[in-house]
Copies of this chain bind each other. A is one copy, B any other.
Amino acid sequence: MRYELYYWPSIQGRGEFVRLALEEAGADYVDVARRPGQRGMPAMMKLLEGKRTAHPPYAPPFLKAGKLIIAQTAEILFYLGPRLNLAPRDEAGRLWAHQLQLTIADFVVEIHDTHHPIGSGLYYEQQRPAAKRRSREFWKSRVEKFLGYFEAVLDKNGGHYLIGRRLSYVDLSVFQIIEGLRYTFPRNMKRFEKRIPGLVTLRDRVAARPRIKAYLASPRRIAFNEWGIFRHYKELDR
């Protein structure tokens, strides 16, 4: 099956959590809006408009798998997980993986809102003082709560992977979170990482996997930039 991934072509964003899974699995997929030529974006917008779709997604990313259109990052991974051998196949295992992924999704919103606490319809420059305060609160009480939770889950599971005895899409997503936080808040993250030694080792383990390594070095990996979820603004990194 050739999967079609639909996501904004110039950012990692939420689509990146799906890309990492597809890449690790060596899946056959097309990143539709990034295809050469100008036809990808109109195709994506048409599906979002919903005139020809029974179940139009609310927003990208979404995945076309045969006739199915599946949206919401965590749901896409829930669907792909067992099919790509990146999640357990039994109901309890699938639900546990999904539960962790939904918690990552909650964290992603909070990371995004450090630079956009007032509204995503405004520029960062229009909400800088609020962004400073929110970033301070984020480091004071949120990072430790989220990452401390994942560190504990990893530890409870033996320290190698978050779920079971093999790599899952949740491990790939935690890799992406750490990469993103390093880019966004290099100073804060440097100080914080000693409190999550297990997750840092997991990050290294993921980065060393042959397919992930090749992907990260390829032009398919978009560089972090100031349009995505993870943005580096020096003044927010105190």
Contact = CB atoms under 8 A, between A and B. Distances in A.
A150 B142 CA distance: 31
Contacts of A103: 58, 72
Interface stretch (A28-36, A90-98, A204-212): A90-98
A138 interface: yes
A99 interface: yes
Contacts of A106: 58, 109
A72 B55 contact: no
A121 interface: yes
Contact of A75 (B99, B122, B152): B99
A127 B113 CA distance: 15
A195 interface: no
Interface in A84-138: 92, 95-96, 98-99, 102-103, 106, 109, 113, 117-119, 121-122, 127, 130, 133-134, 137-138
A75 B70 CA distance: 16
A74 B78 CA distance: 13
A68 interface: yes
Contact of A70 (B70, B99, B109, B133): B99
A165 B60 CA distance: 27
A137 B152 contact: no
A149 B99 contact: no
B121 A141 contact: yes
Interface of A: 50, 54-58, 68, 70-72, 74-75, 79, 92, 95-96, 98-99, 102-103, 106, 109, 113, 117-119, 121-122, 127, 130, 133-134, 137-138, 140-142, 146, 149, 152-153, 156
Given A109-B109, A119-B138, 17 more contacts: A50-B152, A55-B96, A56-B152, A57-B99, A58-B103, A72-B98, A72-B99, A72-B103, A75-B95, A113-B113, A113-B117, A117-B118, A118-B130, A119-B133, A119-B134, A121-B141, A122-B137
